[in-house]
Amino acid sequence: MAKEWGYASHNGPDRWHELYPIAKGDNQSPIELHTKDIRHDPSLLPWSASYDPASCKTILNNGKTCRVVFDDTYDRSMLRGGPLTGPYRLRQFHLHWGAADDHGSEHTVDGVKYAAELHLVHWNPKYNTFGEALKQPDGIAVVGIFLKIGREKGEFQLFLDALDKIKTKGKEAPFTHFDPSSLFPTCRDYWTYHGSFTTPPCEECIVWLLLKEPITVSSNQMAKLRSLFSSAENEPPVPLVGNWRPPQPIKGRVVRASFK
Ligand SMILES: [Zn+2]
């Protein structure tokens, strides 16, 4: 594989294991969800997020996605409940999307691919650092939210408007006073399972909370996301699209639902 991973044939998901062997591990993400096989677990609690909009710091284009970064040096923006045994700190959120509206999500639900998937990444401060949390099976909690095409979402536009400042790889800009819970759907029902990051090194440290209800964004809003570039300013322009990993083998893992 080329020295830098990506989503093209020469460095894409099928080749990540060459440099990151855990990418062929037993707890990889994303997965296909088959809802008829998923059992309701009455012991699963409701979850809640209390985010401090002032902990939102910057937005950046790393050539693989656009990421919004939060101050996680103390308990400011927190996720609690659900399948989690304690509070988790929000570190960043980012998205995965396709080249067109009919695909782009990483998880699929009964064969349905959504236009995009939002990942809110939190870590368990009982492990002291984010780096330590990456080595623990319950070190990270990711809330995954599907984006489907429909009516424009105003709160999503606040984020999209900031993309003009980070068109190319390596750009970073201040971005603050944003509360990502404004992007949540109304319904808090979720599926949960143990998995991994969907980008190298694909560490198997994630408690996934995948929200059942997608949020709706417009086709124009998706087009704005696709106006980013995976190339740097001084390079020939390459659109940043198709940054999703396909579903990985379930390998006997159990997915549980918080709802009937
Ligand atoms: Zn992700």
pLDDT tens-digit profile of 7-33?
999 999 999 999 999 999 999 999 999
Please report whether residue 235 resides in a domain. yes
Q: What's the gap in Å between 114 CA and the centre of ligand 1?
A: 14
Please report whether residue 40 resides in a domain. yes
Here the CATH number for the domain that contains residue 55 is 3.10.200.10
Say if residue 250's pLDDT is above 80.
yes
Query: Which residues lie at CB < 5 A from ion ligand 1?
Result: 119
Please report whether residue 8 resides in a domain. no
Residue 243 to residue 65: CA distance in whole angstroms: 7
Measured in degrees and rounded to the nearest 5, phi and psi for residue 160 equal -60, -35
Q: What's the gap in Å between 236 CA and the centre of ligand 1?
A: 26
Residue 23 to residue 13: CA distance in whole angstroms: 9
Per-residue pLDDT of 90-147, as tens digits, reads 999 999 999 999 999 999 999 999 999 999 999 999 999 999 999 999 999 999 999 9
Q: Give how far Cα 69 sits from Cα of 17, 91, 174, 206, Å.
A: 27, 6, 10, 19
Res. 3 pLDDT band, cuts 50 70 90: confident
Instruction: Give the chain's radius of gyration (CA, Å).
Output: 17
Total domain count for the chain?
1
Residue with tokens 């103390």: 74
Domain that holds residue 143: 13-257
Please report whether residue 96 resides in a domain. yes
